[in-house]
Amino acid sequence: RKEVEQDPGPFNVPEGATVAFNCTYSNSASQSFFWYRQDCRKEPKLLMSVYSSGNEDGRFTAQLNRASQYISLLIRDSKLSDSATYLCVVRPGGFKTIFGAGTRLFVKA
């Protein structure tokens, strides 16, 4: 089993739609969780951290479920500019940072 798994997609949604991505992780001792966004041929950029209580930033909501070992990202009112690959990132602890394979999102007019 991979340490971090994501549905690769692609998710094709119309503008204005709500879309959700999940990411599962195998190490129950993992301490920190993040969602990154990567545009084509560019470096990943931090979208948001994921806190135990869940957190929201505008149209984006991140949640953590430790019991089931997954994190989620919800995007409301999708914009064309949301089209990108969304990477789930887990830090098991110490120095390591593990990336999921990414979920590709295409938002269409």
Closer residue to other proteins, CB minimum distance, 17 or 101: 101
Closer residue to other proteins, CB minimum distance, 49 or 76: 49
Closer residue to other proteins, CB minimum distance, 17 or 26: 26
* Token pair belonging to 89: 């990132």
| 57 phi-psi bin (left φ>0, alpha ψ -120 to 50, beta other) | beta
Shortest Cβ 93–other proteins spacing (Å): 8
- Provide the binding-site residues for other proteins, judged by CB under 8 A: 32, 34, 41-46, 49, 87, 91, 93-102
Shortest Cβ 16–other proteins spacing (Å): 27
The residue count of the chain comes to: 109
Shortest Cβ 101–other proteins spacing (Å): 4
Shortest Cβ 97–other proteins spacing (Å): 6
Measured distance between the N- and C-terminal CA atoms of the chain, rounded to whole angstroms: 37
